[in-house]
């Protein structure tokens, strides 16, 4: 992550608040973002045991509006492999934006709002570094029957951890109503907030979308609770890696197919057969014939992280694979990583060797996620 001194960086509505809270700011996806406050391990462990507030306002919030739900969903299904027509009001779906070769242009969340007057509306959250690229695809591929609106100025924050429900329940009744991957609008101390039961840590939690004008008020309100502390990008990365969750531009990109990336669940079961999305023929062939390589979870010996780019080698030192994400897993107590490996090496229990600073480090392929998910399904 580069330093945050560049004049080209953009700022989220919480930028001054991060600085006031002692955040160490870095450049990430074109934004000035906090990498940590009190330390990555401390913030990681606090999220696992209590609740942390993450600023994710750099993500791209988009609304696509068409004549009715089925029409809008079918239009987006021509670009994405998820079952969007089947979304019930209030439900969310994780899916992908694909290219004609079956490569992943981005991973994203699509939500069908439950509120009155929203038939034909689908809300999307894109990755920060891809949002302009993704919106250009939507506007180029969708007909004039659909309106694509961007809300780059809105704030988005994630309240994550086992105490998140207790905290949010002090301000609204949604924690008692929302199941994992469901969303609804509410009012918190006069602020209109769109709340989804989702996140990227493997813990229970919520993402809260709010106007830029209300962002600081909402953030300070939540952090004012004894259970809540702010957390930065460092802990977000270690948490998502332990939870087995991919990061775009690292564990997947426009050259990687979703099957090799371990993301077949993002393709609707019926759509794997029916197709009708970019790259469908290629992906159907991979499903039928099997992958050549696949993303695997690896736990390494010692305590030194095995970072992105480290090569996986055989006994003669020949490259067999590559690490795409790696860090020390505080909950696991060991270095953990994702690596793309030949399918035979990617089997559970396989012993592998990575090269770090010219030295071999032993590891073993383990089942993902490294830590069990604590999502709440009502």
Neighbours of 112 (CB within 10 A): 25
Give the span between the Cα atoms of 332 and 199, in whole angstroms: 20
Cα of 90 vs its chain's centroid, Å: 19
Secondary structure element (H or E) that encloses residue 325, with its range: strand 319-329
> Are the C-beta atoms of 2 and 26 separated by less than 8 Å?
yes
Q: What letter would DSSP give residue 265?
A: G
Neighbours of 4 (CB within 10 A): 18
pLDDT recorded at residue 99: 97
pLDDT recorded at residue 48: 98
The side-by-side arrangement of strands in the sheet containing 228-230 is: 183-188, 191-196, 205-210, 155-160, 51-55, 228-230
Domains of the chain: 2-57+154-242 (3.30.1360.120), 58-153+257-289 (3.30.70.1400), 292-366 (2.40.30.110)
Give the span between the Cα atoms of 128 and 59, in whole angstroms: 4
Each residue's pLDDT tens digit in the chain (378 positions)?
444 445 689 999 999 999 999 999 999 999 999 999 999 999 999 999 999 999 999 999 999 999 999 999 999 999 999 999 999 999 999 999 999 999 999 999 999 999 999 999 999 999 999 999 999 999 999 999 999 999 999 999 999 999 999 999 999 999 999 999 999 999 999 999 999 999 999 999 999 999 999 999 999 999 999 999 999 999 999 999 999 999 999 999 999 999 999 999 999 999 999 999 999 999 999 999 999 999 999 999 999 999 999 999 999 999 999 999 999 999 999 999 999 999 999 999 999 999 999 999 999 999 999 999 999 999
First to last CA, the chain: 38
pLDDT recorded at residue 372: 96
Sign of CA dihedral 112, 115, 120, 122: negative
Helices (H), the chain: 15-20, 40-49, 69-77, 131-141, 164-168, 212-223, 233-242, 269-274, 280-289
**Which residues are bridge partners to 220 per DSSP?**
none
Give the span between the Cα atoms of 321 and 222, in whole angstroms: 43
* Omega before residue 369 within 30° of 0, cis: yes
Beta pairing class for 293-300 and 228-230: unpaired
Give the span between the Cα atoms of 113 and 123, in whole angstroms: 7
Sign of CA dihedral 276, 268, 266, 58: positive
pLDDT recorded at residue 116: 96
Of the candidates 325, 148, 145, 151, the one whose C-alpha atom is nearest the C-alpha of residue 238 is 325
Give the span between the Cα atoms of 119 and 70, in whole angstroms: 9
Give φ, ψ of 302 to 5 degrees.
Answer: 75, -155
**Which residues are bridge partners to 34 per DSSP?**
25
pLDDT recorded at residue 42: 98
> Are the C-beta atoms of 133 and 60 separated by less than 8 Å?
no
pLDDT recorded at residue 7: 65
DSSP assignment of 25-72: EEEETTEEEEEESS-HHHHHHHHHHSEEEEE-TTSEEEEEE-SSHHHH
The side-by-side arrangement of strands in the sheet containing 24-28 is: 2-3, 24-28, 31-36, 10-11
Helices (H), 290-354: none
Q: What letter would DSSP give residue 91?
A: B
Give the span between the Cα atoms of 376 and 357, in whole angstroms: 42
């Amino acid at each position: 992550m580069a330093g945050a001194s560049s004049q080209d960086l953009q700022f989220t509505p919480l930028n001054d608040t991060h600085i006031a809270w002692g955040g160490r700011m870095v450049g990430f996806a074109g934004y000035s973002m906090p990498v940590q406050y009190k330390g990555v391990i401390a913030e990681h462990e606090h999220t696992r045991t209590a609740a942390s507030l993450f600023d994710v306002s750099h993500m791209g919030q988009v609304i696509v509006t068409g004549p009715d739900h089925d029409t809008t969903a079918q239009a987006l299904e021509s670009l994405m492999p998820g079952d969007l027509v089947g979304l019930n009001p209030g439900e969310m779906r994780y899916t992908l934006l694909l290219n004609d070769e079956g490569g992943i242009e981005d991973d994203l969340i699509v939500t069908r709002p439950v509120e009155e007057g929203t038939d034909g509306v689908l809300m999307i959250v894109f990755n920060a570094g891809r949002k302009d690229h993704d919106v250009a695809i939507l506007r180029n591929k969708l007909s004039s029957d659909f309106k694509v609106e961007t809300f780059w100025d809105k704030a988005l924050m994630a309240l994550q951890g086992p105490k998140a429900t207790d905290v949010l329940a002090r301000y609204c009744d949604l924690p008692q109503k929302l199941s994992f991957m469901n969303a609804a609008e509410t009012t918190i101390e006069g602020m209109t907030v769109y709340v989804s039961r989702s996140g990227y840590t493997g813990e229970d939690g919520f993402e809260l979308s709010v106007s830029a004008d209300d962002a600081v008020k909402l953030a300070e309100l939540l952090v004012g609770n004894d259970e809540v502390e702010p957390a930065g990008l460092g802990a977000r990365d270690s948490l998502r890696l332990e939870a087995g969750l991919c990061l775009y531009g690292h564990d997947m990109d426009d050259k990687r197919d979703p099957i090799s990336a371990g993301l077949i669940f993002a393709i609707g079961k019926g759509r794997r057969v029916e197709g009708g999305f970019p790259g469908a023929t290629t992906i159907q062939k991979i499903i039928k014939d099997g992958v050549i390589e696949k993303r695997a979870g690896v736990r390494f010996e010692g305590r030194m992280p095995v970072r992105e780019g480290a090569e996986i080698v055989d006994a003669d030192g020949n490259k067999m694979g590559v690490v795409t994400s790696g860090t020390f897993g505080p909950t696991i107590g060991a270095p953990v990583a994702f690596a793309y490996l030949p399918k035979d090496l990617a089997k559970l229990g396989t012993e592998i060797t990575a090269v770090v600073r010219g030295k071999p480090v032993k590891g073993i392929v383990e089942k993902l996620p490294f830590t069990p998910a604590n999502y709440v399904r009502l």
